[in-house]
């Protein structure tokens, strides 16, 4: 039986770790041909080598998603290498140290917007022409629950992720009649390296251990725990599936009920 992504070309940014690395593994398992990128060249190469060893077709290249010329060249190379682009997952992102807004450095705000928001804008700017030429496709932008609600002490991060949701909805409106679906995924707390960094900050703030910080954070989630990365990546597979053909312009929360209350 054919896998649901057999022969499909899937681009994933931020593919060296966290959701991106796991997504690359799962899409490869479903038959996808992969175009991977990350700012961490060494970790990206390791991810790609492991996937190739398991039989996947992978092309990878280091990429700073905030660099306009680099993103343009990267997408042009995907077109040259594969001749098409079926799915694009704009997953690359960064966070910042927890701090009240009035103490947040302007440079940190600019960094959040450059990577998290500008990176998604630049990605779609060059992904859409490839998909339009191919007659369709699916784009998934990884936002955050912080892009749907207020996120105290993470104001710049929240602002950048709200921008991702806005870009997603605008793009979806523009290309809905052209066979391209554009959605956003909004996970809350999940067991990733970025979450570990946040937990360490919470631990330092309260004079607690990392395990105690995990417990404190999980207590904020109605389900009483943080997400497993597999739960988030499973949603990626479903959202991008061609059979999920009537969903576009949506910001899908995978958050254990956090944004429901």
Residues 150-160 pLDDT 10s: 999 999 999 99
Task: Domain count for the chain, please give it.
Answer: 2
Same domain (yes/no): 175, 196:
no
Same domain (yes/no): 127, 222:
no
Of 70, 67, 64, 79, which Cα lies nearest the Cα of 11? 79
Same domain (yes/no): 128, 168:
yes
Q: Which domain holds residue 196?
A: 190-226
Domain membership flag for residue 1: no
Domain membership flag for residue 2: no
Q: Are 191 and 257 in contact (CB under 8 A)?
A: no
Same domain (yes/no): 197, 216:
yes
Structure tokens at 20: 């991106």
φ, ψ for residue 249 (rounded to 5)? 75, 20
Structure tokens at 188: 């809350």
Same domain (yes/no): 137, 48:
yes
CA angle 113, 115, 121 (to 5 degrees): 80
pLDDT reported for residue 157: 96
pLDDT reported for residue 204: 78
pLDDT (average), residues 33-61: 98
Distance CA 109, CA 95 (A): 10
Domain membership flag for residue 241: yes
pLDDT reported for residue 244: 97
Distance CA 241, CA 172 (A): 16
pLDDT reported for residue 2: 61
Q: Are 152 and 190 in contact (CB under 8 A)?
A: no
Domain membership flag for residue 261: no
Domain membership flag for residue 51: yes
pTM of the model: 0.94
User: Given a cut of 60, is residue 1 above it in pLDDT?
Assistant: no
Same domain (yes/no): 115, 202:
no
Instruction: Share the mean pLDDT of the chain.
Output: 94
Q: What CATH number is associated with residue 121?
A: 3.40.50.720
pLDDT (average), residues 200-209: 78
Residue 214 annotated in active site = no
Same domain (yes/no): 200, 84:
no
Structure tokens at 124: 């779609």
The pLDDT-based confidence of 210 (bands split at 50, 70, 90) is confident
Q: For the chain, give the number of residues.
A: 261
DSSP characters over 161-218: HHHHHHHHHHHHHHHGGGTEEEEEEEE-SBSSHHHHHHHHHHHHHHT--HHHHHHHHH
Domain membership flag for residue 120: yes
Same domain (yes/no): 36, 111:
yes
Distance CA 58, CA 189 (A): 29
pLDDT reported for residue 110: 98
Return the sign of the alpha-carbon dihedral for residues 91, 96, 100, 103.
negative
pLDDT reported for residue 89: 99
Helix (H) or strand (E) holding 61: strand 58-62
Domain membership flag for residue 174: yes
pLDDT digits (tens, 9 = 90+) for 8-36: 999 999 999 999 999 999 999 999 999 99
Same domain (yes/no): 29, 84:
yes
Same domain (yes/no): 132, 214:
no
Catalytic residue among 5, 153, 157, 214: 157
pLDDT digits (tens, 9 = 90+) for 127-178: 999 999 999 999 999 999 999 999 999 999 999 999 999 999 999 999 999 9
Same domain (yes/no): 241, 202:
no
**How many other C-beta atoms can be found within 10 angstroms of the C-beta atom of residue 158?**
21
């Amino acid at each position: 039986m054919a896998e649901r992504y057999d022969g499909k070309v899937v681009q994933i940014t931020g593919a060296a770790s966290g959701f991106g690395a796991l997504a690359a593994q799962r899409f490869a398992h479903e038959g996808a041909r992969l175009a991977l990128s990350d700012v961490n060249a060494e970790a990206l190469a390791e991810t790609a080598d492991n996937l190739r060893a398991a039989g996947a077709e992978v092309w990878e290249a280091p990429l700073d998603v905030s660099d306009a010329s680099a993103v343009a060249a990267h997408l042009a190379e995907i077109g040259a290498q594969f001749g098409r682009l079926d799915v694009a997952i704009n997953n690359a992102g960064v966070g910042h140290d927890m701090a009240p807004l009035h103490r947040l450095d302007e440079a940190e705000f600019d960094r959040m917007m450059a990577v998290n928001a500008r990176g998604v804008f630049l990605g779609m700017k060059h992904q859409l022409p490839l998909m339009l030429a191919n007659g369709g496709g699916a784009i998934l932008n990884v936002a955050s629950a912080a892009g749907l609600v207020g996120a105290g002490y993470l104001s710049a991060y929240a602002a950048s992720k709200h921008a991702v949701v806005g870009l997603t909805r605008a793009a979806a409106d523009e290309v809905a009649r052209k066979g391209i679906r554009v959605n956003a995924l909004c996970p809350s707390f999940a067991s990733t390296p970025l979450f570990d960094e946040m937990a360490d900050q919470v631990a330092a703030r309260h004079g607690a251990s990392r395990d105690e910080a995990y417990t404190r954070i999980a207590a904020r989630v109605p389900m009483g725990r943080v997400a497993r990365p597999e739960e988030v990546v499973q949603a990626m597979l479903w959202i991008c599936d061609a059979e999920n053909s009537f969903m576009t312009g949506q910001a899908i929360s995978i958050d254990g009920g956090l944004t429901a209350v």
